[in-house]
Amino acid sequence: MDFLQPTSLSEALAMKAERPDATPIQGGTDLMVDINFDRARPSATIDLNRVPELMDIEHVGSDVWVGAGVPYLRIMRELQSDAPGLCMAARTVGSPQIRARGTLGGNLGTASPAGDTLPLLVAIGATAEVASSERGRREIPVRNFIIRPRHSALESDELIVRVRVPKARGPQQFGKVGQRNAMVISIASFGLAFDLDQRAVGTGIGSAGPVILDAPEANAHVAEVFSTEGLWDSAAPLPDGVAKRFGELVGQAASPIDDVRGTARYRRHALSVLAARSLKWAWNEHRETTKGTRA
Amino acid sequence: MKVTLRVNGQTVEAEGVWPGASLLTMLRDDLELPGSKNACEQGECGSCSVLMDGELVCACLVQAGQAEGRDIRTVEGLSGEGDGDVGDVQQAFLDAGGVQCGFCTPGFIMAVDHLLSHEPAPSDETTREALSGNLCRCTGYEKILDAVRLAAERRADGSAVATTGGAQR
Ligand SMILES: Cc1cc2nc3c(=O)[nH]c(=O)nc-3n(C[C@H](O)[C@H](O)[C@H](O)COP(=O)(O)OP(=O)(O)OC[C@H]3O[C@@H](n4cnc5c(N)ncnc54)[C@H](O)[C@@H]3O)c2cc1C
Ligand code: FES
Ligand code: FES
């Protein structure tokens, strides 16, 4: 096994182009487990820890660009107001030791539908910027990043550079169901984001299908009720039944399977509950803050 | 391959390291520092916890070469020079009965020392969260929480002393 250690993005991309078989390593919290257990024997690893371009957090207009190599711990410290939902999701990843090392680049790179930041990134309409030395940069919506479990839209000469995170334009929520509090792979997970400017709702569903899903009908239902009832302007309490219906529609959008972690029926139910609860929590939080600013 | 790094304040070199090895394997097998324990090799148990540039990480998930030039602190760095010397967090674990089989202990010691250096008087909730990446199969955690409180109290009132020569039970 070769160990390659580039110190700039262009060097890293040149190495990846020359050695398409080489496996990038960032925090190692997914890859090292596979190497330790002999499930992966890459011919080479490319250590991305010393590529400064991947460590940046940059605010540009209405977006925050989060480097693929920024660990969760730093996301939680620095992006609380711009990306509250992402911070919530990051806080649920593994344990303090895992959050000190694990990154968005790795969560995307692993391409697991159980990746906990992905539902939230889908809900807010985030995109992954990837690059190759030959073709330069391109953006892939996170929604389309996973093609099937363990397979992403990344070409063999590409690296993930950063993630475009639109700054929060309303309340956000993330929730997951697992077997205990710390360190569990989720049985179902759900991200929700209100966009009060566009008067829209975004969703992302994890661990309940081969890829991360969204629930366009559920989103449209809430947006429509809110428009009919004038909630976007009044910030009045949620009308009866909206949260329940939202939950049902989210459950229907999922395509879960039975596996060791849970049955498809349980997952659908759990998602409905998570979604209904997230909607209530997010909207109540919004009402609290608007009350605060009006007072 | 050869890896040069700082461990517990000293620059050390490990030669002939297999590139796929973890920092944990390099510490234990190549640098002869067996304090960090290998229990799961998958980030679940925390018994391999070390500080890398001041952050608490699982040494089993850091690829050896990633530690090149980094500053690593292991449990060996928290005890004294002599055989049997223990640091203040270790002494608190012994006094509170937070050690049974002892396999998880080095990882807990690192996590608690890290916690107390950032948060000298943590609430139980903060402690539980900070130790959520460390598993113990023996103590049921209550005595470990006692040990954290004891270590925090002793640091606060200045009675924290590293003990030399043979751990007291
Ligand atoms: C004990 C434990 C608990 C965990 N709990 C959770 C959890 O609760 N939720 C969750 O979502 N995950 C969890 N994980 C999985 C893991 O921590 C996350 O997926 C994390 O985000 C991976 O990031 P990393 O930087 O460590 O990835 P790495 O292991 O370094 O890389 C993972 C994959 O991504 C690729 N990759 C990394 N960076 C790039 C890049 N810039 N460009 C191209 N490819 C890249 C690598 O080649 C590799 O295939 C857990 C892992 C452990 C060990
Ligand atoms: S051995 Fe590293 S976490 Fe268990
Ligand atoms: S004392 Fe035995 S595992 Fe903790």
pLDDT, residue B169, reads: 41
Mean per-residue pLDDT, A70-81: 98
Rounded to the nearest angstrom, the distance between the alpha carbon of B134 and the centre of ligand 3 is: 10
Q: Which residues of A37-46 are buried (b: 16+ CB within 10 A; e: fewer)?
A: eeeeebeebb
pLDDT tens by residue, A93-135: 999 999 999 999 999 999 999 999 999 999 999 999 999 999 9
Tokens matching residue B25: 């394997």
**Residue B7 pLDDT > 80, yes or no?**
yes
pLDDT, residue A144, reads: 97
Tokens matching residue A217: 């009908």
Mean per-residue pLDDT, B23-34: 98
**Residue A292 pLDDT > 60, yes or no?**
yes
* Domains assigned to chain B: 3-78 (3.10.20.30), 88-168 (1.10.150.120)
Cβ-based burial of A57 (10 A; exposed 0-12, middle 13-18, buried ≥19): middle
Mean per-residue pLDDT, B74-96: 91
Q: Which of A93, A97, A108 is nearest to A165 (CA)?
A: A108
A184 vs A131, residue with greater confidence = A131
- A37 and B46 within 8 Å at the Cβ level: the answer is no
Residue A44, CB-side half-sphere exposure with 13 Å CA sphere: 17
Q: Which of A90-99, A148-157, A180-189 has the lowest mean pLDDT?
A: A180-189
Nearest to B63 among A32, A37, A94 (CB): A32
pLDDT, residue A290, reads: 83
pLDDT tens by residue, A14-38: 999 999 999 999 999 999 999 999 9
Q: Which residues of A touch B55 (CB under 8 A)?
A: 73, 100-101
Q: Could you tell which of B22, B47, B62, B108 is best to mutate to test the pocket of ligand 2, judged by most ligand atoms within 8 Å of the CB?
A: B47
* Domains assigned to chain A: 2-166 (3.30.465.10), 178-294 (3.30.390.50)
Q: Tell me the C-alpha distance between B144 and B136, whole Å.
A: 9
Mean per-residue pLDDT, B43-62: 98
Is the shortest distance between the CB of B58 and ligand 2 below 6 Å? Answer: yes
pLDDT tens by residue, A31-59: 999 999 999 999 999 999 999 999 999 99
Interchain contact A191–B (C-beta under 8 A): no
Residue B111 distance to chain A (closest CA, Å): 9
Q: In what order do the strands lie in the sheet with A2-4?
A: A2-4, A44-47, A23-25
Rounded to the nearest angstrom, the distance between the alpha carbon of A131 and the centre of ligand 3 is: 46
Rounded to the nearest angstrom, the distance between the alpha carbon of A111 and the centre of ligand 2 is: 23
Confidence band, pLDDT 50/70/90 cuts, at residue A169: very high
pLDDT, residue B38, reads: 97
Q: Tell me the C-alpha distance between B163 and B84, whole Å.
A: 9
3-state SS assignment for residue A120: helix
Ligand nearest to the CA of B135: 3
Q: Which residues of A157-174 are buried (b: 16+ CB within 10 A; e: fewer)?
A: bbbbbbbbbbebebbbbb
Q: What percent of chain B is predicted at pLDDT more than 90?
A: 89
ipTM above 0.85, yes or no: yes
- A100 and B1 within 8 Å at the Cβ level: the answer is no
Q: Tell me the C-alpha distance between A210 and A207, whole Å.
A: 8
> Which residue's structure tokens are 């960090």?
B36
Interface probe, candidates B66, B116, B118, chain A, greatest A C-beta count within 10 A: B66
**Residue B163 pLDDT > 80, yes or no?**
no
Mean per-residue pLDDT, B126-142: 96
Q: Which of A170, A269, A157 is nearest to A226 (CA)?
A: A170
Residue A190 distance to chain B (closest CA, Å): 22
A262 vs A232, residue with greater confidence = A232
**Residue A294 pLDDT > 60, yes or no?**
no
Q: Which of A8-12, A220-224, B164-168 has the lowest mean pLDDT?
A: B164-168
